[in-house]
Structure 1
């Protein structure tokens, strides 16, 4: 239901009251949302963008539409994708449950996407920030399309920012259709006053917000309220609320500082842990790893080097977390006595003074990644954050390294048969359609995943419906997409690590309620992991109610892909081409940006439906986040945890068509939860290039571990 006019006034009072203890002069002008889908003033943008790694959610009332500032609701979500770029999706709606096909009074309901980019290097040469942007990109019904270029200048001494630019737009009253300008003044750390010329009239509003550092987790809340508008035909005072919060894990690859007062206790706990190496032993090291829940632990030797193999199933946000905790425990438990024990066990007569170890990370018993380092150097890295020159990573030769190792111990914490019960929400939704603002079917997914022998696992998933909207009920438009209470997936997987860094997995079984068949995924990574090529092939047949196999509804995919990763930019670009699940053929390009352990992706799809003569084009935005604790339950013979990746996607049609009818079935690829990229490659992050670009993440993971176990 839309909020009422009493809400903003109440929120203004609350915000002022909450902020009174923090009143102080602002050191700069905060970047806050406009009432449109970009950072800015009221109707116009400035040249600022959402902070990298922040996720924003805004609600506004008052939208230029049909020759009025209309009483329409405006929802916007966006994120700072990387330095200088913000991207987001916007829903403008006059009603929430009204069916536009049955009722002509439903009013507008529009889904669109927007981008804004602050150009680099301009400020260095001119002292001005310069940005370009587009609102309501693509589609047939571009009610709010706006293209603009804007520059701004901040005067810190005056707590003032001035903006000016030029736009072309479809907005009513000529808003943003021509030259525009504005000023933002921030006299207090919790308040801004803005005034603007929107290319048509003058407007002013006030913004109240929580000062930075007041709320936990780096969050910020803000409220804006119209003080004046020159637009005469105004049915609604423009107001809005906004929440901004850094995404999960953002900053985990930045150097953790332990010198400030409130971190001294943590620093002491870290030192206490690392001092254990002074009285360590080989059995003590194995016991420490076993006690934290690492599986398939073995100790061996190759060319007089201490080799440790183990498997992580507890730290599921990022592959670096498990590696970082394991390396930290090893560093804290390998000293002179440990290496003396190792020399005696391995019958090494000429023990070297170096404390070199090689860690081999396993997944389902398959060697996937190796880390080499001198433990003296690595302990110093953990204490100070200074990079360790002796450390290097490789995913290319892990299989060879494992097979050429002479193992001195039997496996500890054997992973055979240790089942994971993975709980996750499942959400099917239709957003901003002619049938409603948000239609959904929500279910609880319970996935039983049981590793068997090396590379093999049994994968069973059950869905339990929790709630659904009217249009997903029986007899309604989306009933075929609603979740049922059923076992919707039974698979047996068998994966192999082949020579030359090729990973392949064969899967056979049952999916989507009534399809039986098999699939193969094969990926090849270059030695450093910057490039990957691969393919996926599957064939499934539908089983009729009489248990017979029908060949009239065969489905499958034949897709090739290329992946380019640039970890220094937290960026991946994937190109897919071939035949998709519904029989359509086409090309899909996906740009993914890692904001910590969350991933924001934008995809362009051009695909031709089976039997059609024309291609259809779509643009989608998605966000994927882990929904499980950073340190999951210790793996026993049954481990209950959340999912490492829950994805929410919005898709809109683009192009020059005169129609904008719904089609959400194109571009599907019947992805499995336990596919090669997620199960074995850490969502394509278990590479030398990714580790080289995020070395501090290893230290931060161990510091977080020490905080969990000691404080």
Structure 2
């Protein structure tokens, strides 16, 4: 018994270590990387995670400022790579006359990148290792540093140790020399205590991790408070300070397990699907009455348009047009395939879904009936993946199908889609964020197969003072009124070229034409794109502007599919400012959100930037109706910066420079599911097909 006083505390400690060993999440350091209070760690954001932060930490060697703000936005790109953008705003606000610079301290936009080395496959007991860069090349270099860091978890303790070399200008050394820190979980709470050094200062603080928040897309909120020690200002005087950091970490895509749970939850809340026939692979007997009228009624009740159902031998064929499930065509496809499989006539062995846009066939998907019905009930996707077809139905001719109704009627005459428009200038000498915000209402009508007449009306909502007429950014202020009135025609040239051309009035006062041709490369999922626009200002408009009367632009791009959700692009452009040059791009899809990184060169100017493509519409919007109101399937805010060089010594704002073809009507967005139309992509979306059926279609079953 003499060792009890040692054993019991040791056992308690081990139990606490076991209970506290579970990681609670990742915080974001003030430099703009996952890590501690100020230093980076070897951990990175998970694939498809986005982190947005607001903080107030500042190196005192940059000066003394009453307003200290760090805004960061980061993304986990996969492959152990995370990318962060940081906007540092350190100012002493003062009254400034309109139109004059208001800057009196650092206002810097920078990019940070970190790569976690793939050490887990080595089979060695190594900690996590990462290398990173902060403040990648730009005009200013307040925070430039390169570093290597190791991190690991020991029960409730997370530690990091690394070395950095700073190349920042001036006295400030944001991350320089040996750095390290520790984060300790406080008992069984979601709070932690942190101690660290960045090579020049020491920091101590507290951090709290919230539970995932279902009402916010399973996002996690993380808050930190901290104090620096041993900090000195520009004159060597003590400059210890308190600061805070608030972070939102949001998963941009829904994993397959979550979709399966949603499907099961929806299934439990409704009537069960009828059982399958007892013979393996067979289909339960159909009712004595013809099920096609009920199937067509169910599809129309689902809000789909131009619905036709029929049979071709032992194939069930469904034609439909979707303008309700605009985030992703996969949702509409799940509704169609699910309802068709469950209400198929006897003798059918395969279901074909023919997807239309503007009455034009754009792609076709088919599944084995028995395999798909089993998948809906049991969730085993292997048989469906093996038998799923994507492409032209062999021997398919619309006239050969025995349709329930010879002609599909359209329930929708006019569609009105609302979308935000945003022009902005960020982190300039004249302001932190100058903007012009407007709403665009696009009214469109389908005239014939592939033919669409559309009009864009713009109403400005708000703008900053610097975008008022006569001010520094007045040229970026949105104009009210009719922006576009055009006729667009889309069509197939054979089986591998999809083309869309339009003509009319563009950009308020230009008469012209635009178009895009997309070539689907044989034997691969790659595509080649040719885009062009020619616009000429009307005579009256040309009298009131110094801008060129004729504006033409051409882009030729090749897109390499690296995976079903990732592609790289390379090509050449003639930009709208008359310059020419090459461009490279990288696009990664996370669910229905796309992140694009690009570099474009035109003449002596090279811009690098980021665009985030977001759906501005509910997953299930308004169904087909005489007048259908929707949101926009894609809203693409972005930010770019001019790379410095011998000819460009600073990050000057050139809003009209090196802009590629900007199509008013984007065929990929409007017709081709924003480019997500490959067989591999469709097969990867089977959990979403099943989830969509249970959420949106099961209640419509007769």
Q: Which residue of structure 2 aligns with residue 246 of structure 1? A: 251
Aligned length in residues: 658
- Give the drift of 1:274: 8.3
Q: Which runs of 5+ in 1 are unaligned?
A: 1-23, 340-352, 609-614
Distance (Å, rounded) in 2 between the aligned partners of 1:617 and 1:149: 29
Distance (Å, rounded) in 1 between the aligned partners of 2:198 and 2:109: 23
Secondary structure at the residue paired with 1:704?
helix
Distance (Å, rounded) in 2 between the aligned partners of 1:695 and 1:510: 42
Provide the TM-score with structure 2 as the length reference: 0.87
Q: Which residue of structure 2 aligns with residue 319 of structure 1? A: 329
Secondary structure at the residue paired with 1:224?
strand
424-433 or 298-307: which moved more?
A: 298-307
Distance (Å, rounded) in 2 between the aligned partners of 1:195 and 1:383: 52
Q: 2:164 aligned with 1:163, yes or no? A: no
Q: 2:591 aligned with 1:588, yes or no? A: no
Match runs of 1:482-631 below 5 Å: 482-526=477-521, 530-545=525-540, 553-568=549-564, 570-608=565-603, 615-631=604-620
Secondary structure at the residue paired with 2:682?
helix
Q: In structure 2, do the counterparts of structure 1 residues 123 and 63 end up closer, same or farther at CA, with 3 Å as the change threshold? A: farther
Q: Which runs of 5+ in 2 are unaligned?
A: 1-18, 234-238, 277-283
**Structure 1 residue corresponding to 2:659, chosen from 645, 662, 668:** 668
Q: 2:360 aligned with 1:366, yes or no? A: yes
Distance (Å, rounded) in 2 between the aligned partners of 1:638 and 1:214: 34
Distance (Å, rounded) in 2 between the aligned partners of 1:129 and 1:79: 19
**Structure 2 residue corresponding to 1:60, chosen from 33, 55, 63:** 55
- Give the drift of 1:400: 6.7
Q: In structure 2, do the counterparts of structure 1 residues 361 and 411 end up closer, same or farther at CA, with 3 Å as the change threshold? A: farther
Q: Which residue of structure 1 aligns with residue 11 of structure 2? A: none
Distance (Å, rounded) in 1 between the aligned partners of 2:393 and 2:481: 40
Q: In structure 2, do the counterparts of structure 1 residues 642 and 411 end up closer, same or farther at CA, with 3 Å as the change threshold? A: farther
1:12-68 per-position Cα deviation (integer Å, ceiling 9, x unaligned): xxxxxxxxxxxx846225311111110111221001112322222111112125455
Q: 2:107 aligned with 1:137, yes or no? A: no
Q: In structure 2, do the counterparts of structure 1 residues 492 and 411 end up closer, same or farther at CA, with 3 Å as the change threshold? A: farther
543-552 or 180-189: which moved more?
A: 543-552
218-227 or 298-307: which moved more?
A: 298-307
401-410 or 433-442: which moved more?
A: 401-410
Secondary structure at the residue paired with 1:257?
helix
- Give the drift of 1:259: 9.8
- Give the drift of 1:92: 0.8
Match runs of 1:85-164 below 5 Å: 85-95=81-91, 102=100, 106-122=104-120, 124-126=122-124, 127-155=126-154, 157=155, 159-164=156-161
- Give the drift of 1:89: 1.5
Secondary structure at the residue paired with 2:267?
helix
Contact 2:139–2:651 at 8 Å: present in 1 too? yes
Q: Which residue of structure 2 aligns with residue 21 of structure 1? A: none
Q: Which residue of structure 1 aligns with residue 179 of structure 2? A: 180
Secondary structure at the residue paired with 2:259?
coil
Secondary structure at the residue paired with 2:372?
helix
Q: 2:428 aligned with 1:433, yes or no? A: yes
1:577-627 per-position Cα deviation (integer Å, ceiling 9, x unaligned): 12012212112212111111111111111111xxxxxx2111111211111
Q: Which residue of structure 1 aligns with residue 10 of structure 2? A: none
Distance (Å, rounded) in 2 between the aligned partners of 1:671 and 1:482: 17
Secondary structure at the residue paired with 1:271?
coil
Match runs of 1:462-473 below 5 Å: 462-473=457-468
Distance (Å, rounded) in 1 between the aligned partners of 2:137 and 2:427: 16
- Give the drift of 1:273: 7.8
Q: Which residue of structure 2 aligns with residue 635 of structure 1? A: 624
374-383 or 630-639: which moved more?
A: 374-383
Distance (Å, rounded) in 1 between the aligned partners of 2:525 and 2:313: 30
84-93 or 301-310: which moved more?
A: 301-310
1:304-353 per-position Cα deviation (integer Å, ceiling 9, x unaligned): 4222222111110012111111111112222xxx23xxxxxxxxxxxxx5
